[in-house]
Structure 1
Amino acid sequence: MRLIQFETPQGSRKVGKIRGWDIEVIPHASSVRELALAAIRTGEPLERHVHALGIEGHEDYRIVLSEGRVLPPLDHADHAHCLVSGSGLTHLGSASTRDSMHRGAGRRETGPSDAMRLFKSGMAGGRPAEGQAGIATGWFYKGDGAIVVRPGAAIPVPDFADDAGEEPELAGLYVIGDDGAPYRIGFAIGNEFADHGTEGKNYLYLAHSKLGYCSFGPELYVGALPATLIGMSRIRREGRVIWEREFISGQDHMSHSIENLEYHHFKYNQFLRPGDVHVHFFGAPALSFADGVHIQSGDTFEISIPEFGEPLTNAVTSSRPRVAMNGVAVL
């Protein structure tokens, strides 16, 4: 089952099931979060809960997409109660890229970089037996719900950024139940987006490079994740494809199991506040930055995985930070 959140032409929120180009509108539902919490309280799977609610109408998916009315497939009315984070070095493609980045700028490391060592440790210990914890991988914080850009909208790039690059990833979507336990709702295509230029100066700048906007969707994939997922990442400039690469993801092509990555995120009690929403990125298998592509304002990213429905598309646009140098007042 695939779900979307969208707005009507009048601005009200709706949730729908995707069937081809038809959106089957779910009655009395304005958010996936509400649907998930209701399913948790009744003790039934989300898909069964949604099917039991029936259909109250239909919308043309093509029109909703073309008019920019698709919302991220999971959100919270209060941005502060949506945490966006991620795990890195889970795919060989990103590990190789970061190995090269962390050796750059005249550094003289011999042997594997910290990035490659962490990736290899995941290959050895990132898939523990059921009920056991494996080795942890990199973790990063991106921001709260305010940094999520809806599918089809432009991703702002601040003028202080050294780079702006896509990161095509799987995103896990979660809600914390009334009992303080995390519940996985499903998965979505994600563009985690990062400033690889800043990270390339020094790997300790990775935390800076990850703070910024991102996007995921347009659809929420509910159900068991296929072990192999083959997708395509493209960049268009003035309507012309300037870069594209097929990528392979899914648990069979990752150094960690999904369950291990989830454990190492939700093992921290501060992430278990009832009602909160979590969006967690699982790592990128391919990056245009590795091929020397430099993004310009107006370029458009397109990331597609057939099992997840329609592609995730976002342009990029330049922006200015709200606080300038010496812009902090002293009380």
Structure 2
Amino acid sequence: MFLSQIMLPDGGRAVVMRKGEAAHLVPDTRSTRELALAAIAAGRSLADEIAARGTGEAVALGQALSEGRVTLPLDHPDPAHLHLTGTGLTHLGSAATRDAMHQKAIETEDLTDSMKMFRMGLEGGKPAGGQVGAQPEWFYKGNGFAAAAPGKPLASPGFALDAGEEPEIAGLYVIAPDGSPFRLGFALGNEFSDHVTERGNYLWLAHSKLRPASFGPEMLVGPLPDHVEGKSRVIRDGEVIWEKPFLSGEANMSHSLSNLEHHHFKYDLFRQPGDVHVHFFGTATLSFADGITTRPGDEFEIACDAFGLPLRNPVTQQDAQTAPVAVAAL
């Protein structure tokens, strides 16, 4: 089952449930968050809450997507209460690219911090049931103001040195009134980043991640498949200039899903009632690693049939900053 959110032709909002080719409105439902909180209050699963609401009008979801009416599959009425975060070095094979970016200029036998972090995940990222495993690399991307809907531009700031895609799976969560985190499902994600800035100094990783991100168009309701294989593409002037498969799912990861979730939601800050979280689980596939430099007008496409419709976003470039941002004193 897939869920998505759309804008109706009359300007209203609605939630769409799709099974196979059949897509229908979920009756009397304006948002996925509202639906999830109702399921929590009723003490039942999201799927059972959807079933209890019946089947609404049929929807041509592909047409709605082409018309720009499909929004993020989960959002918050106050974008400041949607948190975009992620973990890196979580996938088998992800360390090779990162290590090459962060290698010291001098000859040394010491492991880079990236390789140390990756090794920690290999050795302790999948603890036995009930145990706490190794901490992953963690980063903050922004709040709901940085979330770009499917089809909308990923705007690279004027000071950025690179505008590169990261094809990932994202977990989508809502915090219950008692502070308990609930996972609604999973979506394709583009964890857009500045890899040149990151390569310059590993301590600039935080800066490189403060970029917009996109996820959707649909959310898979249910467990994450153990093996996920999709395609990541960069399209320029209608032609594919780069294409590569990407892998995810726990069979291809050095951390378990539960371990990554624990190390995010262990912080009280991230268990505030009503908040929404979108957490990117990492990737091992980057066009940047193959020497691709994107430019405004390029389009990213991330596709995997197990997660519904493909995620596409064009790249834009904001005007360069020519002067420092001035802060006024009160």
TM-score (ref. length: structure 2): 0.97
Following TM superposition, by how much is the alpha carbon of 1:321 offset from its aligned partner in structure 2, in angstroms?
7.0
CA distance in 1: counterparts of 2:50 and 2:325, whole angstroms: 52
Question: 1:234: which partner in 2?
Answer: 233
Contact kept? 2:232, 2:245, Cα under 8 Å: yes
Following TM superposition, by how much is the alpha carbon of 1:328 offset from its aligned partner in structure 2, in angstroms?
2.1
Is 1:12 equivalent to 2:20 in the alignment? no
Look up the equivalent residue of 1:117 and give its one-letter code.
K
Contact kept? 1:94, 1:287, Cα under 8 Å: no
Question: 1:144: which partner in 2?
Answer: 143
Pair 243,330 (structure 1): closer, same or farther in 2 beyond 3 Å: same
Question: 1:291: which partner in 2?
Answer: 290
Following TM superposition, by how much is the alpha carbon of 1:126 offset from its aligned partner in structure 2, in angstroms?
0.5
Following TM superposition, by how much is the alpha carbon of 1:59 offset from its aligned partner in structure 2, in angstroms?
1.4
Question: 1:3: which partner in 2?
Answer: 3
Question: 1:98: which partner in 2?
Answer: 98
Look up the equivalent residue of 1:180 and give its one-letter code.
G
CA distance in 2: counterparts of 1:294 and 1:323, whole angstroms: 23
CA distance in 1: counterparts of 2:221 and 2:325, whole angstroms: 47
Which aligned pairs between 1:80-95 and structure 2 lie closer than 5 A? 80-95=80-95
CA distance in 2: counterparts of 1:221 and 1:108, whole angstroms: 46
Aligned to 1:111, the other structure's residue is in SS state: coil
Aligned to 1:71, the other structure's residue is in SS state: coil
Following TM superposition, by how much is the alpha carbon of 1:119 offset from its aligned partner in structure 2, in angstroms?
0.7
Following TM superposition, by how much is the alpha carbon of 1:56 offset from its aligned partner in structure 2, in angstroms?
2.1
1:272-330: CA deviation from partner (whole Å, max 9, x where unpaired)? 11000000000012011110100000000000111101110001011137895143222
Tell me whether 229-238 or 107-116 shows the greater mean CA deviation.
107-116
Tell me whether 125-134 or 313-322 shows the greater mean CA deviation.
313-322
CA distance in 1: counterparts of 2:153 and 2:95, whole angstroms: 28
Look up the equivalent residue of 1:149 and give its one-letter code.
A
1:7-59: CA deviation from partner (whole Å, max 9, x where unpaired)? 01222110011134442001110110010010011111101110111122111
Contact kept? 1:156, 1:318, Cα under 8 Å: yes
Question: 1:211: which partner in 2?
Answer: 210
Which aligned pairs between 1:160-171 and structure 2 lie closer than 5 A? 160-171=159-170
Question: 1:54: which partner in 2?
Answer: 54
Contact kept? 2:198, 2:208, Cα under 8 Å: yes
Question: 1:192: which partner in 2?
Answer: 191
Question: 2:72: which partner in 1?
Answer: 72
TM-score (ref. length: structure 1): 0.97
Question: 1:243: which partner in 2?
Answer: 242
Pair 18,323 (structure 1): closer, same or farther in 2 beyond 3 Å: farther
Question: 2:223: which partner in 1?
Answer: 224
CA distance in 1: counterparts of 2:255 and 2:320, whole angstroms: 36
Contact kept? 1:21, 1:62, Cα under 8 Å: no
Is 1:329 equivalent to 2:328 in the alignment? yes
Aligned to 1:162, the other structure's residue is in SS state: coil
Contact kept? 1:93, 1:287, Cα under 8 Å: no
Contact kept? 2:189, 2:311, Cα under 8 Å: yes
Look up the equivalent residue of 2:30 and give its one-letter code.
S
CA distance in 2: counterparts of 1:65 and 1:34, whole angstroms: 22
Alignment identity in percent? 53
Look up the equivalent residue of 2:197 and give its one-letter code.
T
Aligned to 2:59, the other structure's residue is in SS state: strand
Tell me whether 18-27 or 232-241 shows the greater mean CA deviation.
18-27
CA distance in 2: counterparts of 1:321 and 1:35, whole angstroms: 41
Contact kept? 2:191, 2:213, Cα under 8 Å: yes
Aligned to 2:116, the other structure's residue is in SS state: helix
Look up the equivalent residue of 2:168 and give its one-letter code.
E
Question: What value does the CA root-mean-square deviation take over the aligned residues?
Answer: 1.4
Which aligned pairs between 1:20-35 and structure 2 lie closer than 5 A? 20-35=20-35
